Structure 1
Amino acid sequence: MGTQLWILLVLCEAVWTQTLRRPPFTCGGNLTGESGLVGSQGYPGVYPPNTRCVWRLTVPEGRLVVLSFRFMDLESDSLCRYDYVDVYSGHAHRLGRFCGTSLPGPLVATGNKMTVKMVSDANTAGSGFFAVYSAAHPHQRGEQYCGGRLEKPSGSFYTPNWPEKDYPAGVTCSWHILAPKHQIIEVRFEKFDVERDNYCRYDHVSIFNGPEINDARKIGKFCGDSPPAPVLSEGNQLLVQFLSDLSLTADGFIAHYTFRPKKYLPPTLPSITTTPPATTRPIPLKYSASLCQQKCTKRGSLQTNYCSSNFVLTGSVISGVVRGGSLLATVSILSLYKEGDVAIQQAGKTMSIKITILCRKCPLVRRGLSYLFMGQADENGRGTIGPQHLVMAFKSRNQKDLSFLKNQRC
């Protein structure tokens, strides 16, 4: 353990020294060698808008590229649709898409090449990202390395440290399972224990048809302590991704995969998801000029609005971006009374939410002030607020009423 700590200290000192001496980061480039640094254009200054930068990382033949993020500050969005960093094993197999301020765990390519792409839109910006890449031996084991390419007819894969102790915090593992053409892949989880959350927002396992992360081809997202039902691929490729955040950990999982003929059907194949079943909720309105011509007045009581709303929270507006006639606000949550289907982001102890205010002047909110928000969640989990929803300046006396409503049936 002492040797590992000494190596870590030497590496940190080398990285710090190299950071002090390095030239400014530019937009993209080809980076080669045993190790090096990669960062957004102008880091640690604010990255520019409307950019697309691509870095191609290459380490010596016979080694694997390992990328470890040290800093991340990009526009936050639950689906990373605006500013984001994509990381690929080679040039096509995407290991993940990242934004916000949470650091992903170490990413390991299946070969000696990796591609990092950063895209920014015209609006919100931050300080970007800074990462270290290095060369690893293909079969190095331990807390830091996991994932890889699986091509044998059957095999197993499991979380780091299994079964001796809990998986570590801050890890991202991607297993790319590749079967011969005209075959499919079956995955069965033998043991499964991943931090529980109703929406699997923190630690989770995601499985995708095909070789990359693609929400349109996601088979399921899993967490908790119940093994998911067996998974069958549509084609000859699957991507299994495990992610742990920087807080709680658990035992982890062990899974087994087998190649099957295309016509293979198990006796029963239950619905595969550990996320809650869809609930019926009002479909949020979309921006229209006629909608925003309505008179901006409060309607109904606190209780009737509470019951008709999908989410209820108090929070401070930390940023706002105008998009057409709407306002996209980032809200730091003070208290959460009704979560509904809204996607909540967490960095350390701070929770935040993205809210689209359809008519940016109704209700009118200002950065730095705190409000009570009651609204609906759209299909992507983003909060949506129209003129008919209740938003009001937050007052401490509201807390008692809201706490009472939280414990009552609507």
Structure 2
Amino acid sequence: MRIIVCCTLGLFLLTEVHAQSQRRPTFTCGGNITGESGVIGSQGYPGVYPPNTKCVWRLMVPEGKVVVLSFRSIDLESDNLCRYDYVDVYNGHTNGQRLGRFCGTFRPGALVSTGNKMLVQMVSDANTAGSGFLAVYSAAHPHERGDQYCGGRLDKPSGSFKTPNWPEKDYPAGVTCSWHIVAPRNQIIEVKFEKFDVERDNYCRYDYVAIFNGGEINDAKRIGKYCGDSPPAPVFSEGNQLFIQFLSDLSLTADGFIGHYKFRPKKFPTTTMPPTTTTPLPTTRATPLKYSAALCQQKCKRTGTLESHYCSSNFVITGTVITAVTRGGSMYATISIINVYKEGNLAIQQAGKTMSTKIVILCKKCPFIRRGLNYIIMGQADEEGRGKIAPHHFVMAFKAKNQKSLNVLKTKRC
């Protein structure tokens, strides 16, 4: 009797395994996908994706509905700017606005098209790393009041945007809203938040509003990333387009926000810094530095020592310059962090074991930094967490012999 039961159980398990293998979809390189919902994945998922490929999926749901795309898994070669292996998501099938570019293992929130079509493209170079991606799509009614779908193109001279459910109840969990604001070519855009309440976190890792110059999610053009219950200061675009993304994760939510925008003449005078530095510091912290021609006309010579600058600086780090882009009179740099000695309110992002931050060298050649080199950086940070480095701040090449001095300073009380 035991033998019969054992054999029957074994046969059942084999049948179940075979059935599961039959149910598992086989993912190929791209295709035209239609229907109310479905699943797409990188070629060979969950196996390692092949090198030197470009795969395009064209998604189409019934007319009158929008496409909602949610990544269930993403594992591609990691790079701060997603230059090597990446997934692009576009609104529509041809000449559509790019909704985002993704790589590494960070899973974005839901992406929503404005029409019934969406294009997903995955590109890999000669070197691969990871199992690719798995995503599900579904059809939804556009911009349903009280539902999670929101966003769209805003091209009137002024208007408002707000989180789903505002002001009746909290915004829902697990959503992404993207607003693309487009002004005439000779104008810029001003954005102000009237009310603002988004889950608080020191690094805005969970729920946040991110604002980008241009018409897409591009980390190199990010103006700021905001959360908490204090409205950000007014934001001004550099050109005639802004992209605003709101993302909530699957846990805590809050009241949300309502914001207003209006178009301004291109030469509209502002009292704030360029858009990357619009958020002022509280009076209890150091006053944010303002860019001016006079600031950059000062003689560029480092004064003082590690010790004399340590206590007066809001943050102290050592790191490698990964990117350095000149815009206007300033240089915008991404720093891969070696060590943090004094964090202050500097926004630090972490992907796996790699930490990075963004700083602005207010006068692009003072102090002068070069991509690929290591530095000790001491400076101030505004409330959005971006570091500001003026000529009188302390920046020097980082060498192993400096490690001991910094460790001693870290233990001292200012």
Q: Same fold (TM over 0.5)?
A: yes
* Residue type at the aligned position of 2:69: L
1:57 is matched with 59
Alpha-carbon distance in 2 for matches of 1:167, 1:230: 23
Q: 1:98 to 1:49 in 2, by over 3 A?
A: same
> 2:145, 2:165 within 8 Å by CA — same for their partners in 1?
no
Task: Give me the whole-angstrom Cα distance separating, in 1, the residues matched to 2:187 and 2:398.
Answer: 49
Deviations 1:25-72 (A, max 9, x none): 112222222222211111111212333222221223322111112222
Match of 1:176?
A: 180
Contact 2:173 2:249 in 1 (8 A): yes
Separation of aligned partners in 2, 1:255 and 1:273: 16
CA change 1:92–1:159 in 2 (3 A) is same
* Closer/same/farther in 2, CA of residues 157 and 342 from structure 1, 3 Å limit: closer
The structure 1 residue matched to 2:107, chosen from 86, 95, 103, is 103
Q: CA 1:141/1:68 → structure 2, altered by over 3 Å: closer, same or farther?
A: farther
Counterpart pick for 1:86 among 85, 88, 96 = 88
Q: Which of 165, 168, 183 lines up with 1:161 in the alignment? A: 165
One-letter code aligned to 2:118: M
Query: How many residue pairs get matched?
Result: 311
Counterpart CA distance in 1 for 2:189 and 2:205 is: 26
Aligned residue among 38, 44, 47 for 1:45: 47
Distance 1:128 1:76 in 2: 11
Residue type of the alignment partner of 1:56: R
Q: Distance in 2 between matches of 1:51 and 1:389?
A: 45
How much does 1:99 deviate?
2.6
Given that 1:106 and 1:144 are in contact with CA atoms closer than 8 Å, whether structure 2 keeps it comes out as no
- Inter-CA distance 73–138: structure 2 relative to 1 (3 Å threshold): same
Distance 1:49 1:387 in 2: 38
Question: Are the counterparts in 2 of residues 184 and 261 from structure 1 also a CA contact under 8 Å?
Answer: yes
Change (3 A) 1:336 1:211: closer
More displaced stretch, 226-235 vs 37-46 = 226-235
Structure 1 residues 77 and 186 mapped into 2: Cα distance closer, same or farther (>3 Å)? Answer: same
The 8 Å contact of residues 343 and 353 in structure 1, kept in 2 or not, is answered as no
- Alignment partner, residue 191 of structure 1: 195
Structure 1 residues 204 and 70: CA distance shift in structure 2, 3 A: same
Q: Is the Cα–Cα contact under 8 Å of residues 185 and 233 in structure 1 kept in the other structure?
A: yes
Structure 2 counterpart of 1:257, from 252, 261, 278: 261
Deviation at 1:93, TM superposition (A): 1.2
Does the CA contact (< 8 Å) of 2:39 and 2:134 recur in 1?
A: yes
**How far, CA to CA, are the matches of 1:18 and 1:252 in structure 2?**
42
Which string of whole-angstrom CA distances, capped at 9 and with x for unpartnered residues, describes residues 104-157 of structure 1?
221101112211122233445122111111222223234531211223333211
Alignment gaps of 5+ in structure 2: 1-18, 282-287, 290-309, 320-335, 357-373, 378-385, 388-396
Secondary structure of the equivalent of 1:57?
strand
Alpha carbons 2:376, 2:398 under 8 Å: kept:
no
Give the SS at the match of 2:353. Answer: strand
The offset of 1:262, in angstroms, is: 4.4
Whole-Å Cα distance in 2 between the matches of residues 19 and 262 of structure 1? 60
C-alpha change, 1:128 and 1:343, in structure 2 (3 Å) is farther
Amino acid in the other structure paired with 1:126: G
Counterpart of 1:139, as a letter, is H
Offset at residue 215 of structure 1 (A): 3.6
TM-aligned CA distance change 1:250 to 1:25, over 3 Å: same
Distance 1:74 1:106 in 2: 18
Equivalents in 2 of 1:204, 1:258: separation in Å? 22
Q: Give the root-mean-square deviation of aligned CA atoms.
A: 4.2
Contact map agreement 1:193 1:250 (CA 8 A) in 2 = yes
Q: Distance in 2 between the 1:49 and 1:150 partners?
A: 39
1:113 and 2:120 correspond:
no
1:352 is matched with which residue? 353
Counterpart-to-counterpart distance in 2, 1:68 and 1:125: 22
CA distances 1:206-238 after superposition (whole Å, capped 9, x unpaired) = 222322223444333333332222223344332
Distance 1:70 1:153, change over 3 A: same
Quick one: distance in 1 between partners of 2:59 and 2:151?
19
What is the aligned counterpart of 1:240 among 226, 238, 244? 244
Q: CA deviation at 1:309?
A: 7.6
Unaligned runs of 5+ in 1: 1-16, 279-303, 313-329, 356-374, 392-401
- Conserved in 1, the CA contact under 8 Å of 2:89 and 2:121? yes
Is contact 1:104–1:170 with CA below 8 Å preserved after alignment? no
Q: Which secondary structure does the structure 2 equivalent of 1:152 belong to?
A: coil
The match for 1:210 among 211, 214, 230 is 214
- Paired with 2:155 and 2:271, the residues of 1 have a C-alpha distance of 26
> CA distance change for structure 1 residues 26 and 256 in 2, over 3 Å: closer, same or farther?
same
Give the alignment of 1:334-345 within 5 angstroms: 343-345=348-350
Are the equivalent residues in 1 in contact too, given 2:234–2:279 (CA < 8 A)?
Answer: no
In the TM superposition, residue 174 of structure 1 has moved relative to its aligned partner by: 0.8
Distance 1:39 1:66 in 2: 15
Cα pair distance change 1:146/1:70, threshold 3 Å: same
> What are the residue-to-residue correspondences of 1:11-410 with 2, within 5 Å?
21=23, 23-90=25-92, 91-123=95-127, 125-262=129-266, 265=268, 268-269=271-272, 272-274=277-279, 310=317, 343-345=348-350, 352-353=353-354, 388=400, 408-409=412-413
